[in-house]
Amino acid sequence: MSNKVSRRQFMSYTLMGVGGFMASGMLMPMVRFAIDPVLKKSDGGDFIHTAQKVDELTEVPVRVDFTIENRKDAWYESDVSDTAWVYKKGDDVIALSPVCKHLGCTVNWGADKAHPEQFFCPCHGGRYTKDGNNVKGTPPIGPLDQFEVKVQDGFVYIGKVTANTLV
């Protein structure tokens, strides 16, 4: 039996090698993209700086806008604007999500003249107490979510969304 490699075999080995190399070059980023979020440690360090100074906060909730940079959503990354209702409760800083727990509209503080000390959802008249508890008899079926909060250099930093711990 001859160990000679024919020209045809040589070409097909070479093409397979080049093809395999190119395929691995394309596959690796796809594999990394798929498993990266799984492997990424959630160290709780992802707090976002806001322009809200802590010493300007009172017990009346104020709207604080912030931007989540490079948020991965399925196959693309983009900057996403978000909002929190932020106020002081004793020495603590509270940040509540504005997303209504009925159908996801945005709630506002004090927007219902009949209930100025509550959050109000204009879509279907949902109401929440200042702690975010949904007022019984209005459409929302649960309390507003809460953001983790950090104070650094006098500014409010917003972290990830959690279930409401106040009610």
The yes or no reply on residue 111 touching ligand FES (CB under 6 A) is no
Residue 132 interacts with ligand FES (CB under 6 A): yes or no: no
Stretch touching ligand FES by CB under 6 A, among 12-20, 33-41, 58-66, 119-127:
119-127
What DSSP line would sit under 101-119, residue for residue? TTT--B-EET-STT-TTSE
Options 52, 61, 102, 109; binder of ligand FES; rule CB under 6 A: 102
Out of 103, 116, 152, 162, name the contact with ligand FES by CB under 6 A. Answer: 103
Contact range with ligand FES by CB under 6 A, out of 73-81, 85-93, 102-110, 156-164: 102-110
98 binds ligand FES (CB under 6 A): no
We find the least distance from the C-beta atom of residue 126 to ligand FES, in angstroms, to be: 3
Neighbours of 98 (CB within 10 A): 19
Contacts of 65 (CB under 8 A, 6+ apart): 50, 81, 82, 83
The radius of gyration computed from the CA coordinates of the chain, to the nearest angstrom, equals 26
Among 48, 105, 135, 166, binds ligand FES (CB under 6 A): 105
Phi, psi of 64 (to 5 degrees): -120, 120
What pairing do the DSSP bridges indicate for beta strands 76-89 and 62-73?
A: antiparallel
Contact 161, 149 (CB under 8 A): no
Instruction: State which residue, 90 or 137, has the beta carbon closest to ligand FES.
Output: 137
User: Which positions lie near ligand FES, rule CB under 6 A?
Assistant: 100, 102-105, 121, 123-124, 126, 139-140
